[in-house]
Structure 1
Amino acid sequence: MASYIHVPDEAPAVPKIDVTVDENDYRPGALKLMKELRPSWRPFEIKMKFFTDGITNKLLGCYVGATMQDVVLVRIYGNKTELLIDRENEVKGFRVLHAHCCAPRLYCTFNNGLCYEFLQGTALEPEHIRSQPVFRLIARQLAKYHAIHAHNGWLPQSDLWLKMGKYFTLIPKSFKDPEQNARLSREVPSARSLREELLWLQQSLSVLGSPVVLCHNDLLCKNIIYNEKEGNVKFIDYEYTGYNYQAYDIGNHFNEFAGLNEVDYSHYPGRDFQLQWLHSYLEAYKEHKGQGSAVTDGEVESLYVQVNQFALASHFFWGLWALIQARFSTIDFDFLGYAVLRFNQYFKMKPEAAALKLPE
Structure 2
Amino acid sequence: MGAAEELVNQIVLQNDVIDDENYLACLPDEAKKILKSLASKWENVLDANALEVIPLKGAMTNEVFQIKWQTKEGEMSRKVLVRIYGEGTDIFFDRDNEIRTFAFISKNGQGPRLLGRFAQGRLEEFIRARTLSAPDIRDPSISALIASKMKEFHDLDMPGSKNVYLWDRLRNWLIEARRLSSPEEIETFRLDIMDKEISFLENELSVSPERIGFCHNDLQYGNIMLDEVTDSLTIIDYEYASYNPIAYDIANHFTEMAANYHTETPHVLDFTKYPHLEERRRFVQTYLSSSGEKASDNEVQQLVDEVEKYTLASHLLWGLWGIISEHVNKIDFDYKEYAEQRFQEYWSKKNNLLSHDRSSNDNVSLGNDLT
1:345 aligns to 2:350 (yes or no) = no
1:83 aligns to 2:83 (yes or no) = no
- Structure-2 separation of matches of 1:301 and 1:345: 23
Q: How does 1:125-140 map to 2 (within 5 A)?
A: 125-140=133-148
Contact 2:39/2:48 (CA < 8 Å) preserved in 1?
no
Q: How does 1:77-116 map to 2 (within 5 A)?
A: 77-116=85-124
Residue 274 of structure 2 corresponds to which residue in structure 1?
268
Give the SS at the match of 1:45. coil
Q: How does 1:318-337 map to 2 (within 5 A)?
A: 318-337=318-337
Post-superposition offset of 1:126: 2.0
The 1:27/1:174 distance shift into structure 2, 3 A limit, reads: closer
The 1:133/1:69 distance shift into structure 2, 3 A limit, reads: farther
Residue 258 of structure 2 corresponds to which residue in structure 1?
258
Aligned residues: 324
Residue 25 of structure 1 corresponds to which residue in structure 2?
26
Post-superposition offset of 1:210: 2.6
1:71 aligns to 2:72 (yes or no) = no
Residue 35 of structure 1 corresponds to which residue in structure 2?
36
Which of 276, 286, 294 does residue 280 from structure 1 map onto?
A: 286
Deviation larger for 42-51 or 221-230: 42-51
Q: How does 1:1-360 map to 2 (within 5 A)?
A: 25-26=26-27, 28-40=29-41, 42-65=47-70, 69-151=77-159, 156-172=162-178, 184=185, 188-207=188-207, 209-259=209-259, 260=261, 261=266, 262-284=268-290, 287=291, 292-355=292-355
- Structure-2 separation of matches of 1:208 and 1:335: 35
Contact 1:89/1:242 (CA < 8 Å) preserved in 2?
no
The 1:148/1:227 distance shift into structure 2, 3 A limit, reads: same
Contact 2:320/2:339 (CA < 8 Å) preserved in 1?
yes
The 1:200/1:30 distance shift into structure 2, 3 A limit, reads: same
Post-superposition offset of 1:64: 0.6
- Structure-1 separation of matches of 2:24 and 2:89: 14
Give the SS at the match of 2:140. coil
Partner deviation per Cα, 1:230-284 (whole Å, 9 max, x = no partner): 1112111111111111111100000000014141011111111100110000011
Give the SS at the match of 1:108. strand
Post-superposition offset of 1:224: 1.1
Partner deviation per Cα, 1:55-111 (whole Å, 9 max, x = no partner): 000001111127974311110000111111111111111122112211111112211
Contact 1:167/1:321 (CA < 8 Å) preserved in 2?
yes
Amino acid at match of 1:310: Y
Give the SS at the match of 1:192. coil
Amino acid at match of 1:223: N
Contact 2:164/2:243 (CA < 8 Å) preserved in 1?
yes
- Structure-2 separation of matches of 1:24 and 1:335: 27
- Structure-1 separation of matches of 2:170 and 2:70: 45
Amino acid at match of 1:354: L
- Structure-1 separation of matches of 2:25 and 2:341: 30
The 1:174/1:161 distance shift into structure 2, 3 A limit, reads: closer
The 1:85/1:144 distance shift into structure 2, 3 A limit, reads: same
Give the SS at the match of 1:114. strand
The normalised TM-score by structure 1 is 0.84
Post-superposition offset of 1:196: 1.9
Post-superposition offset of 1:197: 1.2
The 1:24/1:268 distance shift into structure 2, 3 A limit, reads: farther
- Structure-2 separation of matches of 1:174 and 1:70: 43
Contact 2:95/2:239 (CA < 8 Å) preserved in 1?
yes
Unaligned runs of 5+ in 1: 1-21
Identity of aligned residues (%): 29
Contact 2:36/2:49 (CA < 8 Å) preserved in 1?
no
Contact 1:305/1:358 (CA < 8 Å) preserved in 2?
no
Post-superposition offset of 1:214: 0.6
Unaligned runs of 5+ in 2: 1-22, 361-371
Contact 1:312/1:350 (CA < 8 Å) preserved in 2?
yes
Contact 2:180/2:327 (CA < 8 Å) preserved in 1?
no
The 1:316/1:175 distance shift into structure 2, 3 A limit, reads: closer
- Structure-2 separation of matches of 1:161 and 1:118: 34
Post-superposition offset of 1:52: 1.8
